[in-house]
Amino acid sequence: MTHSEFDYVVVGGGSAGCCVAGRLSEDQHTSVCLLEAGGPDNSVFVRAPLGFAATASLKLNSWGYDTVPQAGFNGRKGFQPRGKVMGGSSSINAMVYTRGNARDYDSWAALGNPGWSFQDVLPYFKKSENNECFGATDYRGVGGPLNVSFLRSPSPLNQLFIQACNEQGIPSNPDYNGAQQFGVSPGQVTQKGGERWNAARAYLDPHRHQSNLNVISHAHATQIMFEGKRAVGIKYRVNGVHHEVRARKEVIVSGGAFGSPQLLMLSGVGPALHLQDLGIPLLHELPGVGQNLQDHITTVLIYKTQKINDAMGFSFKGTWNMLKAMLEWRSKRTGWITSNVSETQGFVSTEGNNEYPNIQLALCTGIVDDHARKMHAGHGYTLHVTLMRPQSRGSLTLASHNPTDAPLIDPAFFKESADMQTLVAATQLGLRVMLSPALSSHRGDMIHAVDANNSAEIESFLRDHSDTEYHPVGTCKMGPAQDLMAVVDAELRVHGLQNLRVIDASIMPHLVTGNTNAPTIMIAEKGVDLIRG
């Protein structure tokens, strides 16, 4: 067993952890240790944008979790890939850069979290990004570590899809991260020069050479060390060998919506009865740890196409096209390999509230069935229809006291009937878009066909063909002490404990209207300022 000591120990080298560790290490007089359970992020499957398509089927660089059986899915288990690699899920996601809606953050503040309104967090969004799409504006930033761009080689399908949305009354909106979110536009992605630009490249790589930053890969955190109620370090394993690292100032847990509550509970912080049942000594009772789990639920509308040069798929010519694309990417960093698949984004409302959309439409330029784990011959395109603000709340609990056992993940999809009703209406809207004249030149047969006019048939379809959009949040909820389900306060300090913060997507009181990677990085940027005081 080895021992070492730093000012700060950050657990989890994901989107938040990389930002926290990198920013703290900017002060040469501050020593930082970052622990990440996965390996380095230098694989071509990470650097080449389309490489993430192998993640789901191969469980590459991923924890590859499943949920417990979901009643809302007729007993089917859901899939929950989470990044197990430097950069975390920013190394395996679809690179979509979406901030959410201003009302999301105003709602956080209204729940008793001062400093988290949209006007409070906007400077951190701007600070974090280097926006190649629009440059510096009232809403967008330049000069930050996280590069945001348009795709270098988008499919012609994108403009046809935007036209189809326009035909259904959904306007074009040049920047859904700007003054207004409602509308449809080409997607903004975390890429630079035709490569994935994950949190590790953005925040860690510029500081790797510094002696005050120590990054340890393949380090599986097993327990937070306490002296009384004060966090003093982390126990972890590398290749089965036990180690300890101590923190002079603070321990920062950035394990994500699954990893953070898991580590807290393994350390005796959480619901008393649950820990007692597993034989884990209770250090501090916090009933909200692992509760309040929320996730965006999505369904897929998939169409075949004969236009094989415009959509990815499996055919002789498609294989030849992909081989040529690999060569093109190696020499020019352009072509299909720069695709994030989810190429166009739209935000709409089934309630007529265009100021606060409740649905995201994302056009994918390939067949995406069961997280691309179900393969189909031929070519096609897919519309993801995603519910932005589900009312259902689930939980993350421990399967045992063993830190290597996967946690029990229960998003409770469709637990609240309102979620089903809204997604039925959204699916009907999605079908109208996909059947619009603009797409007629490309549209073939629908895989898993469903009648847009039959609500009962759509409900049955959704129970068979819905799952996560990979955005779990809320399991270490931010809120005031009088909220018995809150885990951290507005400065991200764990209630009732000292020198311990949680900084990641788990602290979100509720989901944002869009993908969660950019908001997670914003949380980390703000968290660093809170640490510095």
The helices-and-strands tally (H runs, E runs) of the chain is 13, 27
- Angle value at C-alpha 517, between 514 and 518, nearest 5 degrees: 80
| Alpha carbons 63 and 60: distance in angstroms, whole number | 8
Based on the number of CB atoms within 10 Å of its own CB, is 269 exposed (0-12), middle (13-18) or buried (19 or more)?
A: buried
The DSSP H or E segment spanning 303 is: strand 297-305
Token pair, residue 356, equals: 């606060």
| Alpha carbons 126 and 142: distance in angstroms, whole number | 7
- Residue whose entry in the numeric block shows the structure tokens 């944002």: 512
Active-site annotation holds for 471? yes
The DSSP H or E segment spanning 468 is: strand 466-468
Whether residue 194 contacts residue 329, with contact meaning beta carbons closer than 8 Å, is answered with yes
Q: 3-class DSSP state for residue 352?
A: coil
Can you give 99-141 as a three-state secondary structure string?
CCCHHHHHHHHHCCCCCCCHHHHHHHHHHHEEECCCCCCCCCC
Based on the number of CB atoms within 10 Å of its own CB, is 225 exposed (0-12), middle (13-18) or buried (19 or more)?
A: middle
Q: Rg of the chain's alpha carbons, rounded to an integer?
A: 22
| Alpha carbons 277 and 274: distance in angstroms, whole number | 5
Cβ neighbors of 70 (< 8 A, separation 6 or more) are 76, 77, 78, 410, 411, 412, 413, 414
| Alpha carbons 153 and 325: distance in angstroms, whole number | 11
Token pair, residue 100, equals: 């959410």
| Alpha carbons 512 and 526: distance in angstroms, whole number | 17
Whether residue 8 contacts residue 33, with contact meaning beta carbons closer than 8 Å, is answered with yes
Q: How many CB atoms lie within 10 A of CB 129?
A: 27
| Alpha carbons 42 and 195: distance in angstroms, whole number | 11
Nearest of 71, 68, 63 to residue 36 by alpha carbon: 63
| Alpha carbons 229 and 233: distance in angstroms, whole number | 12
Which one from 284, 296, 371, 471 is the annotated catalytic residue? 471
Phi, psi of 525, deg, nearest 5: -60, -45
- Residue whose entry in the numeric block shows the structure tokens 């490249």: 201
Q: Give the distance from CA 250 to its chain's centroid.
A: 25
| Alpha carbons 95 and 346: distance in angstroms, whole number | 16
Enumerate the active-site residues.
471
